[in-house]
Amino acid sequence: MVLGAHVSIAGGISNAPLNAVDATCDTIQIFTKNQMQWKIPPLDEEEVLLFRKRMLEHKIKPGTIHSSYLVNIASNNVKIRKDSILDIACELERADSLGMPYVVFHPGAHKGEGEEIGLKRIVKGIEEIFELSKSKHSLLLLETTAGEGTTLGYRFEQLAEILENVNSDRVGVCLDTCHIFAAGYDIRSDEAYNKTMFEFDNIVGLKYLKAVHLNDSKRELGSRMDRHEEIGKGFIGLKGFAFLINDQRLRNIPGILETPGWTQGYIENLAVLRRLIRK
């Protein structure tokens, strides 16, 4: 696994690779804009060129862009759904410009209308995103969720249903360790890890797994609560992460920290993960 973290773009998107170096990252995840606003300011061309130059100079492997936290393509609210589709379509274009292969997004919440209706809206929304976007290269990754409230994507079967029905070969999955653990998938022992990964491969398919969010959990197995903790300090513990980062099937995919603490926290958590790598 190629290890990195979600780094800041404060002061300009070209600062992200420098922040990655400071945090000892080998890959990165970024927001390309304010994640709590619908406004989509254009990317400055010079910033884009400098971003790409610094990524190459510092040998940072391109990773993921995380979409806005506001998006919900499962919504029955016409404006929210329209804004969500536009937002993600633009993020795919920005990913192409920046040379980032993946855009991660939360599948959405059905808001009481039922999971099947919500899943159908997600499928249709993804198709509309690709129809609208001028992107040619980047992939859209469904992030596994904890299952809080009416959020979808907390069961592997839901991800499989979306992937089977969407009319695009540019869709994959980002597995979040905290989220799947909160949703009831255990990875804390050799037996539990192999069972969970077997289920994922059998139901979804490992070929769709393109990125991993590396987060311990403040809450217990099956809590359905999305609460990130530093590596080894939560209910998952170090063993679960050792199984994951030593899984040779995942050796070339980005493993992204979203743990508390920003740069110093990332340095410490990446050091913990690297100590778990078997030589």
Q: Where are the domains of the chain?
A: 2-275
Beta-bridge mates of residue 256: 4, 213
One-letter amino acid at 279 equals: K
* Distant-in-sequence contacts of 271-277, Cβ < 8 A, 24+ apart: 271/24, 272/231, 272/232, 272/238, 273/3, 273/214, 273/231, 273/241, 273/245, 274/3, 276/238, 276/241, 276/242, 276/245, 276/246, 277/245, 277/246
pLDDT at 274 over 90: yes
Among 174, 195, 203, CA closest to 240: 195
> pLDDT by residue (tens digit) across 2-51?
999 999 999 999 999 999 999 999 999 999 999 999 999 999 999 999 99
What is the architecture, at CATH level 2, of domain 2-275? Alpha-Beta Barrel (3.20)
From residue 91, alpha-carbon distances to 109, 130, 161, 178 in Å are 20, 11, 24, 25
Q: What is the mean pLDDT of residues 133-156?
A: 98
pLDDT at 260 over 90: no
* Residue 136, pLDDT score: 97
pLDDT at 150 over 90: yes
Among 174, 160, 38, 36, CA closest to 103: 174
* Residue 223, pLDDT score: 98
pLDDT at 262 over 90: no
**pTM for this entry:** 0.97
* Percent residues over pLDDT 90 in the chain: 98
E strand or H helix at 273: helix 262-275
> pLDDT by residue (tens digit) across 162-205?
999 999 999 999 999 999 999 999 999 999 999 999 999 999 99
pLDDT at 261 over 90: no
From residue 134, alpha-carbon distances to 83, 91, 193 in Å are 16, 10, 39
Looking at every residue in the chain, the average pLDDT score rounds to 97
User: Where is average pLDDT lowest: 100-109, 190-199, 208-217, 256-265?
Assistant: 256-265
* Residue 13, pLDDT score: 98
Q: What is the mean pLDDT of residues 260-266?
A: 90
